[in-house]
Every structure is written in structure tokens, then in C-alpha cells.
Amino acid sequence: MTFEPSKALVDRVVTLSRTFDAPRKIVFEAWTDPYYVARWWGPAGFTNPVCEWDARPGGAIRIEMRAPDGERFPMRGEIREIVSPEKLIFSSVVDDDQGNIVLEVLHTVTFVERESKTTVTVDSHVTKAMPEAAPMLDGMEEGWSQSLERLKGLISPA
């Protein structure tokens, strides 16, 4: 099987912002400590039995999300830049069973604090995509939205 990138899918950008009732130091830690990342990453109902997040430039990311039905969704990536507690840039990559890249996204996350509240903005820019990545991309905005809601629940539980 030949893998041809889909030009129609590349350069797609999803941007979301959420404000958290917490100082940015706490919010930033929730993005950089794998203990916390494992508790909020992914859509509602998903767990992360594998969550490796080496929060330093060049550090590896490995997350395996598990859906409520048990299906597993592995991804890998790399921390590209980290400016504590202001900015985090990282890649996420989904491979097929033969190790070919199906989807690669570069995420830039910024943290702005005002009056002890932190606004997080996530910009996700598709850099590589095969046609079979289309369903993943169709769900990217909703997936991030649910992840950020889970993060909100972790940081400021009701």
C-alpha cells in the first residue's frame, strides 16, 4: 500500500481557548506532569493507561488512550519548546500498524494569567495527514473540547 499525503487535510488548524479558575503555574503543571496529563487527556470516558510525557525540549511523549469499549488509540510525539509557565509546543503523531505516519499535528499551547485565572489557548496545526486521518481530524475540535473540560474538572472540581 502506498501512502500519499492528503493536501486537503494538511494545514488545517483548530484553535480553542478555555479559562480556568486557577493560577497559570497550576494549569501549566497539569499540562507538563504525566500524572496529571493522564487524568484529563482525551475525550470524556477515555482513560490513559500509558502516559509518558517528558516535559523538556526534545522530550518524548507516548500516550495510549483507551475508549470505554476498550479500543486503544496510541500516539507519540515530542516536546518542541517549553517556556514555563507561558508556552508549550509539542507534536502528536498517529502511526498505522506498519509504523507509517497517518497524522502529525503541531500543537502550540499558551497560558495567560489575569486575576488568578488562566486562559489556555490551544492551536493545533496539521502538518502531515493521510486520507485515512480524515475521521480523526473531523473529531479533533470535539476531542480537544472534551479534554479541556476534563482538565477544568481536575483543576477546579465542583
DSSP string, 90-113: EEEEEE-TTS-EEEEEEEEEEEEE
Sheet hosting strand 117-129, strand order edge to edge = 13-20, 117-129, 101-114, 87-95, 72-83, 60-66, 47-53
pLDDT, position 113: 97
Per run of 10 residues, the mean pLDDT along the chain (length 158 residues) is 55 92 96 98 96 97 97 97 98 94 96 96 95 89 96 85
pLDDT, position 12: 84
> What domains are there in the chain, each with its CATH number?
13-155 (3.30.530.20)
Give pTM, 2 decimals. Answer: 0.92
SS3 48: strand
pLDDT, position 156: 80
C-alpha–C-alpha distance, residues 76 and 60, integer Å? 8
